[in-house]
């Protein structure tokens, strides 16, 4: 069954995605790498960023991490605090 | 103490929190809002944080700093929301037995914060606005 992943967007990604939170379909076994590919196709603006990291449950996650519908997933564009 | 706050930062309170009786040095970094960027006047900055992760990432940085230097106390406070030039955006304070480790630890913490912690700022100019460092140099077109 197709599940839905809720994704938080911050900084410039909030402008690109058009909201603080968006939903994307999640395939069984879908990874962070798959999500990046989905984002690039649905929101080409993310390709223009200097970098884009994905956080899963408040931790930076690499492309191999498998996503679950219950995970807290967030887009982390280049940070600029300080 | 790790704090992400919409209210003005009480710098003295951050320093007091980091201070320790055994310390011979308290080192403080105060980040402030500059009034120009890219040769233009900054009207204000808008800061936002992914708060739960920002706190977790700052904690990791402090843990690493505590591992590398003999810290006796520390405190980090970062402002979010709308900040005008000259306002304080971030304060890092550490105390240690001697000055050298206090300088090194304080610099390590603020440098790591700037490169890893999920906090973002948008510069608002008279004629547009721009998320800082979001796009590669040269393609950072200002948009309205």
How far is it, in rounded angstroms, from Cα B106 to Cα B76?
Answer: 10
Q: What is the pLDDT along chain A (82 residues), one digit of tens a residue?
A: 678 999 999 999 999 999 999 999 988 899 999 999 999 999 999 999 999 999 999 999 999 999 999 999 999 999 999 9
Contact flag B135-A48 (C-beta cutoff 8 Å) = yes
**Interface contact A51, partner B, CB < 8 A:** no
Asked if residue B87 lies in contact with residue B95, where contact means CB atoms within 8 angstroms, the answer is no
ipTM of the complex: 0.94
* Residue A63, token pair as written in the block: 């492309």
Instruction: Say yes or no for a CB contact (<8 Å) between B131 and A11.
Output: yes
- Angle of helix B99-116 relative to helix B51-68, nearest 10 degrees? 150
> Which of A55, A76, A82 is the closest to B31 by Cβ?
A82
- A51 to chain B nearest CA, in Å? 8
Burial class for B112, CB neighbours closer than 10 Å (0-12, 13-18, 19+)? middle
Q: How many residues does chain A have?
A: 82
Quick: pLDDT tens for B96-134.
999 999 999 999 999 999 999 999 999 999 999 999 999
pTM of the model: 0.94
């Amino acid at each position: 069954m197709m599940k839905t992943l809720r994704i938080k967007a911050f900084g410039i990604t909030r402008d690109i995605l058009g909201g603080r939170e968006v939903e994307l379909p999640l395939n069984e076994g879908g990874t962070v790498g798959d999500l990046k590919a989905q984002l690039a196709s649905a929101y080409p603006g993310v390709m223009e960023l200097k970098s884009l990291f994905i956080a899963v449950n408040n931790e930076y996650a690499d492309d191999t991490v498998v996503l679950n519908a219950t995970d807290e997933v967030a887009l982390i564009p280049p940070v600029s605090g300080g | 103490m790790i704090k992400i706050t919409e209210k003005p930062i009480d710098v003295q309170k951050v320093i007091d929190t980091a201070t320790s009786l055994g310390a011979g040095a308290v080192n403080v970094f105060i980040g402030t809002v500059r009034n120009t960027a890219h040769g233009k006047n900054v009207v204000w900055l808008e800061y936002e944080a992914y708060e739960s992760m920002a706190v977790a990432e700052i904690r990791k940085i402090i843990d690493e700093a505590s591992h590398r230097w003999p810290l006796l106390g520390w405190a980090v406070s970062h402002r979010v929301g709308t900040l005008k030039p000259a306002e304080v955006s971030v304060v890092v304070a550490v105390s240690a037995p001697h000055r050298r480790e206090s300088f090194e630890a304080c610099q390590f913490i603020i440098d790591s914060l700037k490169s890893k912690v999920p906090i973002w700022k948008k510069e608002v100019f008279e004629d547009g606005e721009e998320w800082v460092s979001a796009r590669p140099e040269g393609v950072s077109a200002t948009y309205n």
